[in-house]
């Protein structure tokens, strides 16, 4: 493990030195039927997936450990440690794939590599140094878990977890500067600009840097939650005792809670990123949303629909193990209706793929009815109603076995219901009104819809927290009493979100088309084109299959370490 990390670190530190020895513009590669772009694609995708894993899971661990500290509940501390155990192998995998990626780029794209290192060399040295500190903090955090278990020492240990997250976030921000520079270099950088004259901070702080930072930070939380949920599902399905099933049922619920909670706000960060891309280059924006990539967003809509449906399905099944949840069962069919209609609207294309006869029959490329649902007014309305519905599922789950005792409980519930209703009315109103205004005005309406939904979420949570203080319990949650199909929902969430990350990475990179750095360094190789959706989907699927093959091995190793704990407990 440490040898692998050391190899990755050595390559990272050597990056500026490797650049000086670059020769031709492109290197040759042809192994297992892959060309040079395919090799870099797989290495980059797997490195980013494992990097998201090792950034998202520590966020989980620190939050769960804090709950254990401030509630004095040993159960949370045990869960946080189990999360962290998964990081040790995953961290080495991140370093290995990072080293492979550096090797591929520096040897297969040497001219481009020289250009990047000329600009970003100081940040690369800082990246390597922080990588070392992050590694040391991780080992200290995990192996010091039992040594610093009580009193002030435990808070010191928690501080190490916070520090681990800080290192990881800074490392991600630095790397994001490199990749966003390729997409949105500063306006004063042109083809003739010498890379040595480009200001480092100007290159890093480009138009899409901060939107990517926020979007990836939230996405990593979702991804970490989904992977932890998948691990819990795997352990639940292979458990041999009720105690194990109860533990991993609770672990899966916690992972799903955080994953879906972060997923609710992720689209808002995506809207911000899309807007910044449009502002930087309308051509890139048109390629992304109105060119050949427009059908990519139909695929994305279905995938996100699967995430919302699977997340809600898991919650609805989970209500079966909660005493008192039966009173909410009649509402589930209506929430399912909203979600299904929302997915259908969101996945409706603006223009149809049709033959000449079909276009003539429709009177144009747009279907007379479906074309109305294919515009952003309908889609923004659909996704915001889906977010509200998912949040309502969480609130019903949270309220299921609790009975408020405060005198204003009925009033509080009515206020919460009114907040949901008002938000839904605002979302629908601006969705309909958007059909009667110009595009620039219509874009602004999405802000009002988002603000209405976010305000409702905050308002309802605040009222609920106050209203449930000292609430009576309708009965203990029967952890472990879940059918196997509930765990398959968690596995579907993990695979779907991983595939979605690959798809969105392709969209972000593909809109540069035949440029290494957009309108600065042209790709002059024989692969200077954006692949079609079919080949791209195949490559993404290969990356996802390799990733989950490796993650499966990590799960297996984690199971070996944990199995002895339950065997000792049983004795």
155 plus 303 within the same structural domain: yes
Distances (CA, A) of 495 to 57, 307, 338, 538, 557: 16, 10, 24, 15, 20
497 plus 454 within the same structural domain: no
Do the domain assignments include residue 475? Answer: no
288 plus 356 within the same structural domain: no
Do the domain assignments include residue 287? Answer: yes
347 plus 316 within the same structural domain: no
318 plus 328 within the same structural domain: no
Do the domain assignments include residue 92? Answer: yes
User: What's this model's pTM, rounded to 2 decimal places?
Assistant: 0.85
Distance of CA 122 to the CA centre of its chain: 29
302 plus 359 within the same structural domain: no
Under a CB-based contact definition with an 8 Å cutoff, are residues 280 and 207 in contact? Answer: yes
409 plus 524 within the same structural domain: no
**Whole-number Å distance between alpha carbons of 169 and 167:** 6
Do the domain assignments include residue 476? Answer: no
Do the domain assignments include residue 413? Answer: yes
Supply angle C-alpha 536, 44, 8, rounded to 5: 165
464 plus 492 within the same structural domain: no
Do the domain assignments include residue 562? Answer: yes
455 plus 561 within the same structural domain: no
Do the domain assignments include residue 198? Answer: yes
3-class DSSP state of 403: strand
105 plus 155 within the same structural domain: yes
332 plus 292 within the same structural domain: no
**Counting Cβ atoms within 10 Å, is residue 537 exposed (0-12), middle (13-18) or buried (19+)?**
middle
Q: In terms of residue numbers, what domain contains 463?
A: 323-400+403-470
Do the domain assignments include residue 281? Answer: yes
Distance of CA 104 to the CA centre of its chain: 26
Per-residue pLDDT of the chain (571 residues; tens, 9 = 90+): 333 344 444 444 444 444 444 457 888 877 777 888 899 999 999 999 999 888 888 888 888 888 888 888 888 888 888 888 878 878 888 888 999 999 999 899 999 999 999 999 999 999 989 988 888 999 899 988 888 887 788 889 999 999 999 999 999 999 999 999 999 999 888 888 888 889 999 999 999 999 999 999 999 888 888 888 998 898 899 888 888 888 899 888 888 888 888 888 887 788 788 888 888 888 888 888 777 777 888 888 888 889 889 989 999 998 888 888 888 888 999 999 999 999 988 888 877 677 778 777 777 767 777 777 777 788 889 989 999 999 999 889 888 888 888 888 889 999 999 999 999 999 999 999 888 887 767 777 888 898 999 899 999 999 998 888 888 888 888 888 889 899 999 999 999 999 999 999 898 888 888 899 999 999 888 888 888 888 999 999 999 999 999 888 887 776 666 655 545 444 4
495 plus 526 within the same structural domain: yes
Q: Which of 414, 436, 470 is the last residue of a domain?
A: 470
Q: Which of 421, 447, 470 is the last residue of a domain?
A: 470
Per the structure, the count of domains in the chain is: 2
């Amino acid at each position: 493990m440490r040898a692998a990390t050391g190899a990755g670190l050595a390559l990272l530190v050597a990056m500026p030195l490797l650049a000086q020895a670059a020769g031709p513009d492109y290197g040759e590669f042809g192994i297992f039927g892959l060309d040079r772009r395919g090799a870099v694609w797989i290495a980059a995708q797997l490195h980013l997936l494992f990097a998201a894993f090792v950034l998202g899971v520590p966020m989980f661990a620190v939050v769960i450990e804090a709950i254990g500290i401030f509630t004095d509940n040993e159960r949370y501390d045990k869960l946080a440690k189990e999360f962290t155990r998964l990081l040790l192998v995953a961290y080495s995998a991140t370093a290995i794939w990072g080293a492979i990626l550096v090797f591929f780029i520096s040897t297969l794209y040497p001219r481009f590599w020289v250009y990047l290192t000329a600009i970003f060399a100081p940040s690369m040295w800082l990246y390597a140094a922080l990588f070392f500190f992050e590694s040391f903090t991780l080992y200290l955090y995990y192996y010091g878990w039992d040594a610093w278990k009580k009193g002030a020492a435990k808070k010191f240990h928690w501080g190490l977890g916070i520090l681990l997250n800080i290192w990881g976030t800074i490392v991600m921000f630095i790397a994001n500067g490199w990749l966003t520079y390729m997409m949105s270099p500063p306006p004063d950088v042109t083809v003739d600009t010498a890379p040595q004259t480009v200001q480092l901070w100007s290159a890093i702080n480009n138009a899409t840097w901060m939107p990517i930072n926020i979007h990836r930070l939230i996405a990593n939380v979702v991804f970490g939650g989904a992977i932890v949920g998948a691990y819990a599902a795997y352990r639940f399905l292979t458990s041999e005792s009720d105690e194990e099933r109860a533990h991993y049922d609770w672990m899966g619920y916690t992972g799903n809670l955080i994953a879906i909670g972060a997923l609710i706000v992720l689209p808002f960060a995506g809207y911000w990123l899309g807007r910044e891309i449009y502002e930087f280059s309308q051509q890139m924006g048109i390629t992304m949303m109105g060119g050949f990539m427009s059908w990519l967003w139909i695929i994305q809509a279905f995938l996100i629909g699967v995430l919302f449906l699977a997340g809600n399905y898991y919650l609805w099944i989970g209500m079966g193990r909660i005493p008192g949840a039966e009173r909410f069962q009649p509402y589930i069919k209506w929430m399912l209706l909203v979600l299904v209609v929302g997915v259908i609207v969101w996945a409706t294309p603006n223009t149809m793929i049709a033959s000449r006869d079909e276009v003539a029959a429709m009177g144009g490329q747009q279907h007379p009815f479906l074309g109305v649902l294919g515009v952003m007014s309908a889609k923004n309305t659909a996704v915001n109603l889906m977010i509200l519905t998912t949040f309502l599922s969480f609130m019903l789950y949270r309220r299921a076995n609790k009975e408020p005792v405060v005198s204003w409980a009925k009033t509080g519930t009515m206020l919460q219901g009114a907040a949901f209703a008002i938000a839904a009315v605002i979302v629908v109103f601006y969705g309909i009104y958007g059909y009667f205004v110009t595009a620039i005005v219509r874009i602004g309406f999405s802000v009002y819809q988002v603000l209405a939904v976010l305000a409702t979420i905050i308002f309802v949570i605040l009222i609920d927290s106050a209203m449930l203080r000292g609430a009576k319990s309708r009965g203990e949650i029967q952890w472990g009493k879940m059918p196997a199909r509930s765990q398959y929902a968690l596995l579907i969430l993990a695979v779907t979100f991983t595939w979605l990350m690959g798809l969105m990475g392709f969209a972000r990179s593909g809109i540069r088309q035949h440029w290494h750095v957009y309108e600065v360094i042209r790709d002059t190789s024989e692969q200077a084109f954006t692949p079609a959706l079919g080949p791209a989907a195949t490559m993404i699927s290969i990356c996802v299959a390799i990733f989950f093959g490796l993650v499966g091995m990590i799960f297996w190793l984690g199971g070996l370490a944990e199995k002895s704990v339950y065997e000792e407990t049983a004795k």
